[in-house]
């Protein structure tokens, strides 16, 4: 018996297809809206100018932060950004160039720096009489400097060109004034020791032998014809306490002091060195002057009497000398007047002589 076949299954109608619930449809449309909103926001932000850029927009467009998910930042990128912002910028500063050889600055660096010693025992006579002919040219040192520094000079006849009677200091280095010199007139020109004798005494000169002090006091490198008033204002001052009013001469002035102190191995105080360095800082190429005069006088000069008690003198020798002179020689003078006048004076009488 034939079994009847099953009837074909009926196709479900549209009304029979179960519809998606509302929440699922909401998720789909919400997702699409977020995508559109992100695209719009990116477009808006891309067209917005940096307010710090000239010609830029006044500010960023208003965007709802609730609709934009924060973008995570990689730790390495964050560290790199932080480093680039907070790392200090270091700039290498070149070391100051060493002063050139032959300049006063280079010579200044060689001077010892010490405190000023006491002025105990200082006397102008410790540097010999003013002014000794240490270069043995037949003229005393004062007239040598006047002849060197003055113009339009008048020389006394019969003095072998030594005695200056008149002249003009065309430009005084300390004041920039022109000064007339007349021998025997008002004292308007002095011969200045650029490194003062008193300053030298306190910075090494007190321990010198007499002939070195004599050479120092008559060294042309340490001497200038200058305005008398300015020289007396200076006194025994060093560069820390006095500089010329003429600022254009200050470089040459301190350079000469440095050269003199180097030549005679004198020291400088800390304040003095600072003052000299400050002046030379404005003229680093200022040359240090040089001179040929010896640091030990070739002539003995007349040393000041010793402060010690005089040594007892033995009775007169058989030779019959009447006095012993300060330079150690003997005098045979028959009178007191003029005895040992060319030998520093009388050290001791060996005979009782009439005046």
pLDDT of residue 334: 73
Please enumerate in sequence order all residues whose Cβ is within 8 A of that of 147, keeping only pairs 6 or more positions apart, or say none.
139, 153, 161, 162, 164
* Number of domains within the chain: 2
Same-domain check for residues 253 and 354: no
pTM: 0.61
Say which residues have a Cβ less than 8 Å from residue 25's Cβ, sequence separation at least 6. Answer: none
CB 162 within 8 A of CB 204: no
Provide the pLDDT for residue 267.
Answer: 98
**Who has greater pLDDT, 56 or 205?**
205
Regarding whether 252 and 349 lie in a shared domain, the answer is no
Asked whether residue 50 carries a pLDDT value surpassing 70, the answer given is no
Q: pLDDT tens for residues 33-42?
A: 444 444 444 4
Both 126 and 255 in a single domain? yes
Query: In which band, very low, low, confident or very high, does the pLDDT at 57 lie, cut at 50, 70 and 90?
Result: very low
- According to the model, what pLDDT value does residue 314 have? 45
Asked whether residue 235 falls in the same domain as residue 325, the answer is: no
Residue ending a domain, choose from 232, 256, 280: 280
204 is a domain residue: yes
The answer to whether 307 touches 327, Cβ cutoff 8 Å, is no
- Whether 301 maps to a domain, the answer reads no
Q: What is the pLDDT of residue 147?
A: 96
**3-state secondary structure at position 133:** coil
Residues 275 and 316 in one domain: no
Give mean pLDDT, residues 149-162.
94
Asked whether residue 46 is domain-assigned, the answer is: no
**Same domain membership, residue 259 and residue 123:** yes
Say if CB 82 and CB 238 are below 8 A apart: no
Write out pLDDT tens, residues 71-102.
Answer: 454 444 444 444 444 555 555 555 567 888 99
Residue at a domain's end among 280, 302, 336: 280
In a domain, 234, yes or no: yes
CA distance 347 to 308: 12
Let me know whether 130 and 221 are in one domain.
Answer: yes
pLDDT for 175 equals 97
Q: Mean pLDDT in the chain?
A: 78
Q: Is residue 111 part of a domain?
A: yes
- Of 228, 260, 280, the last residue of a domain is 280
Provide CB contacts within 8 A for 139, sequence distance 6+.
Answer: 133, 147, 159, 160, 161, 162
CA atoms within 13 A on the CB side of 25: 4
Same domain, 223 and 348: no
Residues 258 and 354 in one domain: no
Which of 156, 163, 157, 158 has its CA nearest to residue 139?
Answer: 163
274 lies in the same domain as 193: yes
What letter does residue 213 receive in the DSSP assignment? Answer: H
Range of the domain at 236: 104-280
Q: At 336, is the pLDDT very low, low, confident or very high (cuts 50, 70, 90)? A: confident
In a domain, 75, yes or no: no
**Centroid of chain to Cα 336:** 57
Band the pLDDT of 150: cuts 50, 70, 90. Answer: very high
Domain for residue 290, yes or no? Answer: no
- The answer to whether residue 175 sits within a structural domain is yes
């Amino acid at each position: 018996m034939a079994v009847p076949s099953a009837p074909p299954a009926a196709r479900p109608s549209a009304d029979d297809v179960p519809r998606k619930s509302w929440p699922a449809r909401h998720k789909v449309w919400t997702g699409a809206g977020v995508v559109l909103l992100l695209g719009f926001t990116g477009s808006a932000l891309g067209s917005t100018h940096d307010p710090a850029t000239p010609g830029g927009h006044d500010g960023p467009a208003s965007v709802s932060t609730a609709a934009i998910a924060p973008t995570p930042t990689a730790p390495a990128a964050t560290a790199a950004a932080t480093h680039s912002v907070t790392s200090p910028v270091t700039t290498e500063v070149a070391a100051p160039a060493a002063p050139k050889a032959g300049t006063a600055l280079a010579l200044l660096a060689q001077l010892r720096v010490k405190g000023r010693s006491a002025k105990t025992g200082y006397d102008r006579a410790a540097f010999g009489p003013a002014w000794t002919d240490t270069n043995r040219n037949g003229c005393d040192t004062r007239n040598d400097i006047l002849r060197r520094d003055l113009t339009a000079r008048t020389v006394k006849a019969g003095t072998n060109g030594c005695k200056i009677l008149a002249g003009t200091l065309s430009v005084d280095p300390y004041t920039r004034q022109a000064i007339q010199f007349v021998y025997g007139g008002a004292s308007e020109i002095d011969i200045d020791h650029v490194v003062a004798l008193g300053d030298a005494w306190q910075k090494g000169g007190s321990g010198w032998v007499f002939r070195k002090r004599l050479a120092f006091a008559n060294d042309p490198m340490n001497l200038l014809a200058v305005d008398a008033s300015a020289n007396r204002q200076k006194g025994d001052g060093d560069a820390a306490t006095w500089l010329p009013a003429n600022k254009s001469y200050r470089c040459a002035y301190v350079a000469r002091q440095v050269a003199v102190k180097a030549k005679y191995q004198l020291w400088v105080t800390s304040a003095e060195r600072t003052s000299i360095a400050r002046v030379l800082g404005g003229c680093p190429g200022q040359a240090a002057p040089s001179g040929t005069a010896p640091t030990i006088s070739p002539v003995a000069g007349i040393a000041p009497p010793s402060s010690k008690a005089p040594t007892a003198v033995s009775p007169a020798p058989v030779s019959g000398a009447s006095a012993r002179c300060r330079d150690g020689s003997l005098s045979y003078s028959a009178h007191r007047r003029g005895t040992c006048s060319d030998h520093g004076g009388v050290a001791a009488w060996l005979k009782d002589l009439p005046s």
